[in-house]
Amino acid sequence: DAKTTQPPSMDCAEGRAANLPCNHSTISGNEYVYWYRQIHSQGPQYIIHGLKNNETNEMASLIITEDRKSSTLILPHATLRDTAVYYCIVVIRGGGSEKLVFGKGTKLTVNP
């Protein structure tokens, strides 16, 4: 599975959009981009995933560049409860590579 690079930490003001970047320059054509977050002391929580099209759900939006070498997770109106570590992971979906490998992620702090 391709490796990802994320900034170790970011800050965001409450109510503003939080844009979390992820580089995955070695991503292959059949690898999906997944995002998880982990609020302190809790288990990781799935947020969203995508292949090449932009995706949106009730939690966030995922923007994937046309060359698929990077992506951005957008929390449109960050709240204090969005303070967490956010993990970007690339993995083959349903292709036999069943392991989800977590990196160090980005610690997002939402400030009042």
Partner 1 sequence: DAGVIQSPRHEVTEMGQEVTLRCKPISGHDYLFWYRQTMMRGLELLIYFNNNVPIDDSGMPEDRFSAKMPNASFSTLKIQPSEPRDSAVYFCASRGRPEDTGELFFGEGSRLTVL
Asked whether position 8 contacts partner 1 by CB under 8 A, the answer is no
For partner 1, give the closer residue by CB, 73 or 91: 91
The answer to whether residues 91 and 103 touch, using CB atoms and an 8 Å cutoff, is: no
100 interacts with partner 1 by CB under 8 A? yes
- Map residues 9-48 to x or -, x wherever contact with partner 1 holds by CB under 8 A: -----------------------x-x------xxxxxx--
State in angstroms the smallest separation of the CB of 112 from partner 1: 27
In whole angstroms, give the CA distance from residue 90 to residue 35.
Answer: 9
The DSSP-derived string for 29-95 is TTEEEEEEEE-TTS--EEEEEESSS-EE-SS-EEEE-TTSSEEEEEETT--GGG-EEEEEEEEESSS
- Which spans of this chain sit near partner 1 (rule: CB under 8 A)? 32, 34, 41-46, 49, 89, 91-95, 97-104
